[in-house]
Copies of this chain bind each other. A is one copy, B any other.
C-alpha cells in the first residue's frame, strides 16, 4: 500500500507543478485545495525540500517551488524518499538491499525470482514517469 505521506507528497508536487504563479506556493493553499491535513503536509514538503526536490522561501509570502524541470523529476526518486524501497522484498532492492535470514541461496528462492520481475516492471514505470507526465506540463 502506498502511504498517505507519499500520496499527499505526489499530489502536492503535482499541484506546485501545475501552478501558474510566479511566487512560491503556500502549504495552506495546497492543503485546502487537495484536502490534506496542513501540519502533516508541512512535514512532507519539508522532507521533499531536504531531499532536493523543492526550494522554499520563508516568512510572509513564502512557500515552496520546484528547483528542477518537471521532466527531470522521476517518480522512482520521489517514491524512494517518501515511501522507501520500491522493491517488495529487501533481497531484490537495488538501493536498500538486505539479505534474507531464511534464505541460504537467493538464486534458488522462488519468491526472489518473482519479486525481481515485479521490481523490474514497477521500476520501469516509475523511471519513465516524471512530474511532467503527472502534471501534464
Contacts and interface: CB of A to CB of B under 8 A. Distances in A.
A129 to B, nearest CB: 6
Interface residues of A, number: 32
A114 B126 CA distance: 8
A111 B1 contact: no
A129 B75 CA distance: 26
Interface in A95-130: 101-102, 109-111, 113-115, 117-118, 121-122, 124-126, 129
17 contacts: A2-B89, A2-B115, A10-B111, A10-B114, A11-B102, A11-B111, A34-B102, A113-B134, A114-B125, A114-B133, A117-B125, A117-B129, A118-B125, A118-B126, A121-B122, A121-B125, A122-B122
